[in-house]
Structure 1
Amino acid sequence: MSELHDLFAIEQLDALRRGTITPEELTRHYLARIAEKDAGLGAFTTVTAEHAIAHARDLERTPRAAALWGLPLAEKDLWNRAGVPTTFGSRAFADFVPEVSDEITTVLDDAGSVSLGKTATPEFGLASHTESMVSAPTRTPWAPHLGAGGSSGGAAAAVAAGLLPVAPGSDGGGSIRIPAAATGLVGLKPSRGRVPSGSGFTSLAGLVTYGALGRRVADVALILDAIAGPSPWSVGPPTWDEGPWLGAATRGEGRFQLAVMTSSPWDTSRDIHVSPEATDALTVATTHLEAIGHGLESLSLEPEPYGEHFSIIWQASAAGVPVEGERLELLEPLTRWLVERGRALSARDLAEALAWLSGYERRIIRQFAPFDAVLTPALALTPRPIGWYDAVDPVRNFDQQVEYTPWTSFVNVAGLPAIVLPVSLTADGLPMGVQLIGRPGGEDVLLALGAQLERRIGWHYRHPPGW
């Protein structure tokens, strides 16, 4: 007999609206799961049980039409919620309690969700692994000796383990897609500007936007419908009862022209090795896509000095970390190196890197324009062991992140939408995924393609052993 957490997020929402379960009952179910299961997983940094139950009770006196009415969620520990500790994954903020909530937190509240607390993240979200010094390392439920990726690692681990039905996340260089791939989930990064509360336009080089991680394509579409708003990529009014993104994921219609790409923008500056498991996942995806009737062509990126310019921007983004003087000693080696390198940059260094990446954005969009979507591996390697990243040498740590995730950051630079799909399992039972990159504003195509593959492969019925 299945339990509540075995239901998909859209099924749980339907049960809430029909009144077969109340928000308080569902909230208590997930709080009990977290209390029982999270100690060895490291998905949560803070659980706000009393606040969650009280809020769930209050919701029962409100209309059920809200997009996420009664659905339990959690915020990434980079987002402020008034009165709840926000550590940013850093010892420098171990005791910080904000007085004002971030806009994304308010948006999720207005959509009717119930916050259960904060999910773990690496320090200031600057790494692709969630192993900070303020909390236990976050593990993928598929194998406890392996990491869940980052920076939305806690969110991914929680959904994969059935501690949340679905989760919002943020992505500035792969932070939704990397942990989704490492935990066997669907992870959606929207186009720059699609989500007003995290549009990307206010972040350096326009890298960061909000998205979602879930077991099903429709689950992440549900979150996108709840947080999206008027944007440069506006769509017409939905013709279904669902919002436009859930409708696209539900219908899963269309035949498209796709490109398949294994080259990465880091190839000119790093020795990128694509593992057999990553290649196998790509083969699974292409085989199914061809069987559906999509057109597939090969594509290769032109060699360009992408790595040196992106590295400058990543360092510059860390320069604004609000830690000064002796408190810099509290930062982890990777973060401190990024901060110090960023603060040593000249205005000319930054301006030149921004100008180069702006041109690169246009070149990528132009090169991808003939295709409805571009298919790549999600990650170059299988999920990485806890402790695999060099904790002492920050340069080596950064290189390791690039070697693991060579196809993610350039999508943020180009402002394009992308979705990770967990298409296969390795011989050892580890999830492996592929990434589909869309045209500007092309989330509907990505969701439709994802729904088609989901119906054929059935990844949404997989569960990590013991969970």
Structure 2
Amino acid sequence: MSELHYLTATELTRLIRTRQVSAVEVLQAHLDRIEQVNPDVNAIVTLAAEPAIEAAKAADAAEPEGLLHGLPVAHKDLVDTAGIRTTYGSPLFADHVPAKDDLVVERLRAAGAITVGKTNTPEFGTGSHTVNEVFGATRNPYDLSKSAGGSSGGAAAALATGMVPLADGSDMGGSLRNPASFCNVVGLRPTPGRVPGVSDTAAWYTLSVQGPMARTVDDLTLMLSAIAGFDHRSPYAIREVFTPEPEEGVAGLRVAWSPDLGGLPVDPRTAAVTATAPAVFERLGATVEEVELDLSGAEEAFRTYRAWNYALSFGDLTGLGPNTAWNVERGREVTGAALAAAERARSRLYQRMSAFFDTYDVLIAPVSQVPPFPIEQPHVSEINGERLPDYLAWMRSAYWISVLHAPAASVPAGFTTDGLPVGVQIVARPFEDARVLRVARAFEQATGHGRQRPPL
């Protein structure tokens, strides 16, 4: 049998169900792996080994029921875990221990998953480079001198190194997709409402979603099946039960290819890798057409709604880090007229892209505009000689897609000449999460890039 820590979640659940391995054995293999590699990458920042061992023993003593029975998982340090420290990556909450689980944690536990610990995130998930004042930076497993991306960088690095088979994350401007791209794993930003959240502050806010991360698309689908589903406490939760598409492959599908999402600067190292994706889809029987994408309005809409949400969510806190504080200040500048303009821009963009998806089944594009960058670099400030105005701008290839209310996945697309992972982004019409996963699986199986492990 292969090393347990690198088996897929799908295979591990089968082995546990058929009693070929015990939940305790599977957990111990992952705890051993955490002890071995976590000091190098700093992905898991709070370990819950003792309660996990007790939960694994209980799982072995019970009849397997849930989809994830006995499977170790890690939770992003933004979601509340009852009895386990949750810092949100902020010194303000460095010793915070919630009394109640977040809904996504509840659902994973209900499916039989076992919490191993919490994964690193920048303060309140602010930015696509995982570093904070509580735990420091998470390093890229493929090159320890580089960023793991963010804000779910701890989750991505933990998955890539075999510390866990599944991990949850969240995504406002790319935080499930960017770290998946940087760490050669898969991440899905679901349609808003597919994985509902519960909030008494921003219940109607649709830019931020929670979703699954894994090493394979089948595992991504398995985890989504466990965490998706209606909850009456979310005003836009989707009632439809998530079901994978029965069809396989991409033969006959119409694929739109955008190398730069409508004129964004893309690092030539990233561009060289993502440019190989169209030929893969053509070889699989899809019709691929390069398109001039019009995402005008996405920038205005994203920045306005993001800023407004930061002021709403964190405006009452003092002692915030510089990135979070900057976002709060931008939010305090938002006027009613600015919100009206953002809503108008987003609505027009939604209708334009609705017509676009009448012609194309999926859009493929770069996830990130750059490959992993030096870990000591706070953010990307220049691409192809073009100076960027602030720390947000290098993430446009991800956050412009966030505005579409659409499902989007990052799937490994290959490596730069110096061995850094690059992902391709697969986007479909809103609510067609299963279509995204079907296309992602076909690409993954045709290329096999995700099977290349980091040198740890």
Secondary structure of residue in 2 paired with 1:259: strand
Question: Superposition pairs for residues 209-288 of structure 1, below 5 Å?
Answer: 209-230=209-230, 232=238, 234=240, 244-245=243-244, 251-252=248-249, 254-264=251-261, 267=263, 272-288=264-280
Residue matched to 1:35: 35
Output the amino acid matched with 1:55: A
SS at 1:39 equivalent: helix
1:254/1:194 CA distance change after superposition, 3 Å: farther
Match of 2:53 in 1: 53
Return the offset for 1:205.
4.4
Alignment of 1:109-148 (within 5 A): 109-148=109-148
The one-letter amino acid of 2:351's match is: R
Q: In structure 1, how many angstroms separate the alpha carbons of the residues matched to 2:124 and 2:190?
A: 21
Counterpart position of 1:370: 359
Residues in 2 aligned to 1:8 and 1:385: alpha-carbon distance in whole angstroms: 30
More helix by share: 1
**Secondary structure in 2 aligned to 1:436?**
strand
1:359 and 2:348 are equivalent in the alignment: yes
Structure 1 pair 229–306 and aligned structure 2 pair: CA distance change class (3 A): closer
Q: Distance in 2 between matches of 1:100 and 1:375?
A: 39
In the alignment, the residues of structure 2 paired with residue 383 and residue 413 of structure 1 have an alpha-carbon distance, to the nearest angstrom, of 24
Aligned-pair CA distance for 1:102: 1.3
CA contact (8 A) 2:186 2:410 kept: yes
Query: Deviations for 1:301-321, whole angstroms, at most 9, x for unmatched residues?
Result: 336343233212111111134
Report the equivalent of 1:240: none
Secondary structure at the counterpart of residue 141 of structure 2: coil
1:379-402, Cα deviation, whole Å (9 max, x unpaired): 11111211222599xxx9973442
- TM-score relative to the length of structure 1: 0.89
Unaligned stretches of 5+ residues in structure 1: 236-242
CA distance in 2, matches of 1:125, 1:361: 26
Q: 1:209 offset after TM fit, Å?
A: 1.8
The answer to whether the 8 Å contact 1:92/1:323 transfers is no
Give the secondary-structure state (helix, strand or coil) at the position aligned to 1:374.
strand
Q: Which range moved further: 382-391 or 330-339?
A: 382-391
* Secondary structure of 2:275 counterpart: helix
- Deviation string 1:314-369 (CA, Å, 9 cap, x unpaired) is 11111134464xx62x3211111111221343344334323432332232222233
**1:154 aligned partner, one-letter code:** G
| Distance in 2 separating the partners of 1:156 and 1:296 | 30
Separation in 2 of the partners of 1:454 and 1:248? 17
Does structure 2 conserve the Cα–Cα contact (< 8 Å) formed by 1:69 and 1:112?
A: yes
Identify which of 289, 293, 296 aligns with 1:297: 289
Q: CA deviation at 1:282?
A: 2.2
Q: Residue 13 of structure 2 aligns to which amino acid in structure 1? A: L
CA–CA distance in structure 2, aligned partners of residues 157 and 33 of structure 1: 13
Alpha-carbon distance, 1:33 to partner = 1.4
Matches within 5 A, 1:321-336: 321-322=313-314, 324=316, 328=318, 330-336=319-325
User: 1:333 and 1:374 mapped to 2: Cα distance?
Assistant: 35
SS in 1 for 2:370: coil
Number of residue pairs matched? 444
Equivalent residues in 2 for 1:48-127, closer than 5 Å: 48-127=48-127
CA positional deviation for 1:103: 1.2
Q: Is the counterpart of residue 339 in structure 1 residue 328 in structure 2?
A: yes
CA distance in structure 2 between the aligned counterparts of 1:4 and 1:451, rounded to whole angstroms? 22
1:96-131 Cα distance to aligned partner (Å, 9 max, x none): 121222111111110110001110111111211101
Matches of 1:390 and 1:379 in 2, distance apart?
13
Write the deviation string for residues 28-85 of structure 1: whole angstroms up to 9, x where unpaired.
Answer: 2211211221112110121011111111112223331311111100111000112211
- Bigger CA drift: 222-231 or 346-355? 346-355
1:386 correspondence with 2:375: yes
Q: CA RMSD in A?
A: 2.5
Moved more, 337-346 or 299-308: 299-308
| 1:192–1:42 CA distance, 2 compared to 1 (3 A) | same
Equivalent in the alignment of 1:407 = 397
Does residue 445 of the first structure (1) align with residue 427 of the second (2)?
no
Whole-angstrom distance in 2 between the partners of 1:419 and 1:255: 20
SS in 2 for 1:144: strand
Once residues 251 and 275 of structure 2 are traced to their aligned partners in structure 1, the CA distance between those partners, rounded to angstroms, is 21
> Structure 2 counterpart of 1:402, which letter?
A
Structure 1 residues 303, 397: CA separation in 2 closer, same or farther (over 3 Å shift)? Answer: closer
- Partner AA of 1:331 in structure 2: L
**Using a 3 Å threshold, how does the CA distance of structure 1 residues 259 and 411 change in structure 2: closer, same or farther?**
same
Give, as a single letter, the amino acid of the residue that structure 2 aligns with 1:218. D
Please give the alpha-carbon distance, in whole angstroms, between the structure 1 residues aligned to 2:176 and 2:379. Answer: 22
Q: Using the alignment, how far apart are the partners of 1:220 and 1:252 within structure 2? A: 17
Give distance in 2, aligned partners of 1:452 and 1:295. 14
Does structure 2 conserve the Cα–Cα contact (< 8 Å) formed by 1:89 and 1:124?
Answer: yes
Whole-angstrom CA distance in 1 between matches of 2:160 and 2:373: 17
2:234 — aligned with what? none
Q: Distance in 1 between matches of 2:335 and 2:277?
A: 44
**Deviation at residue 192 of structure 1 after TM alignment:** 1.8
Displacement after TM superposition at 1:253 (Å): 5.9
Q: Deviations over 1:152-211 (max 9, x none)?
A: 110000000111112121111111000000001111111122223479x95564112222
Q: Aligned in 2, Cα 1:366/1:374: closer, same or farther, shift over 3 Å? A: same
Take 2:380 and 2:255, find their aligned partners in 1: how far apart are those partners? Answer: 39
Q: Distance in 2 between matches of 1:112 and 1:54?
A: 13
Gaps of 5+ in 2: 231-236, 382-386
